Structure 1
């Protein structure tokens, strides 16, 4: 299978965008209950790219270090999911989650915990809803926090980029008055992406 064969057609891309947006909307609702603040999440665009291209896309947009919450998932399609923010956005998100009354040192101490909880809610909400709408289930690992540049997060230097791709989602993330940009990346091999494409085709057939 070539790279071109796993790219989604316009109808498939629209269907996947709808499924993902429903997932992140549910995640936003869960997060809103946790923090008792207005939370808005949207996914304006989706792309399927190589790991190297995904790293380059973020590297071009972000001049600072990155922070990510990572979870592995297994099911009909399997891989590694990342919720990625610029480092400065990580502290902003932690402040939005835990409140603005903490000192900077206290906030730094709480940052990983706040990010892990947020990432767990968003990634589980997104992937769980995707799996449910595609009439399957996924098993998710516990989340952990990673820091580094985009090449480190996507293991660009350690793996062959010819057999693994990234389902790359740009997200806009707002918690009350905190505007936070970020990315969701799902790293999958070709068989998993091929299976996802077939499940999306089945979904389209069911709803049309």
Structure 2
């Protein structure tokens, strides 16, 4: 069974994400002592194989931090930190000089986990408030190994078409910017719940029903 949504429904979900990310960006900017720019998130529906490949592509050049979403919704978030991010955050927050290697020590891991906790926590809280859902983010972990394998719980044997929010933020200074990808995954059942909630909003009206 295919899933579809209208452009209005996409816009509403993007706006919900933008509100949560804007609050998260303020906290992140204080920690990083840098200006944080947010791009409008993209919203993609991908089949399972495409999801796994997209995550593995990111993992080749990033360190991933994961936080599961529990409660009424079933999902997970992945934040991907590049070597440049790790180097700059280590210098600013830990007063530690490093290269841009993806090999990180325990202190750096703790820092990335805390940043992930702040950003994903704000996003999940905003989703819970606007969608009136009882959801929360579990403490982040550093999965290591094949990160895509950790998503298998969202991809059970029955056919699913999970939703990927590909949210790209920019950690910027005077000279350059580095993308900080944040991906939010929901399984098919959760996506259906979100659409039901959004379609119940009075300002959508019957014109927003999917074909």
The residue aligned with 2:170 is 173
Q: 5+ unaligned residues in a row in structure 2: which ranges?
A: 206-211
The residue aligned with 2:90 is 95
Quote the offset at 1:8 in angstroms. Answer: 2.2
Looking at structure 1, the residues matched to 73 and 178 of structure 2 have their Cα atoms a distance apart, in angstroms, of 29
Q: Say if 2:68 is the partner of 1:72.
A: yes
Q: Say if 2:64 is the partner of 1:81.
A: no
Which among 133, 138, 141 is matched to residue 136 of structure 1? 133
Which among 27, 39, 52 is matched to residue 49 of structure 2? 52
Looking at structure 2, the residues matched to 33 and 207 of structure 1 have their Cα atoms a distance apart, in angstroms, of 37
Q: Which runs of 4+ in 1 moved over 4 A?
A: none
Normalising by structure 2, we get a TM-score of 0.77
Looking at structure 2, the residues matched to 162 and 199 of structure 1 have their Cα atoms a distance apart, in angstroms, of 23
The residue aligned with 1:182 is 180
Looking at structure 2, the residues matched to 93 and 128 of structure 1 have their Cα atoms a distance apart, in angstroms, of 28
Looking at structure 1, the residues matched to 88 and 52 of structure 2 have their Cα atoms a distance apart, in angstroms, of 22
Quote the offset at 1:44 in angstroms. Answer: 3.6
Aligned CA distance change for structure 1 residues 63 and 29 (closer, same or farther; 3 Å): closer
Looking at structure 2, the residues matched to 96 and 41 of structure 1 have their Cα atoms a distance apart, in angstroms, of 22
- Structure with bigger strand share is 1
Aligned CA distance change for structure 1 residues 59 and 72 (closer, same or farther; 3 Å): closer
Quote the offset at 1:114 in angstroms. Answer: 1.4
Aligned CA distance change for structure 1 residues 138 and 69 (closer, same or farther; 3 Å): same
Q: Contact 1:80–1:186 at 8 Å: present in 2 too?
A: yes
Quote the offset at 1:104 in angstroms. Answer: 2.1
Q: 5+ unaligned residues in a row in structure 1: which ranges?
A: none
- Say which SS state the counterpart of residue 184 (structure 1) adopts: strand
Looking at structure 1, the residues matched to 145 and 163 of structure 2 have their Cα atoms a distance apart, in angstroms, of 18
Normalising by structure 1, we get a TM-score of 0.78
Quote the offset at 1:94 in angstroms. Answer: 2.9
Aligned CA distance change for structure 1 residues 81 and 131 (closer, same or farther; 3 Å): same
Deviation per CA, 1:144-169, whole angstroms, max 9, x where unpaired?
A: 1123456445449x854723614231
Quote the offset at 1:89 in angstroms. Answer: 4.3
Which among 6, 13, 18 is matched to residue 16 of structure 1? 13
Q: Contact 1:92–1:180 at 8 Å: present in 2 too?
A: no
Looking at structure 2, the residues matched to 77 and 63 of structure 1 have their Cα atoms a distance apart, in angstroms, of 25
Quote the offset at 1:59 in angstroms. Answer: 4.8
Aligned CA distance change for structure 1 residues 206 and 55 (closer, same or farther; 3 Å): same
Looking at structure 2, the residues matched to 145 and 165 of structure 1 have their Cα atoms a distance apart, in angstroms, of 22
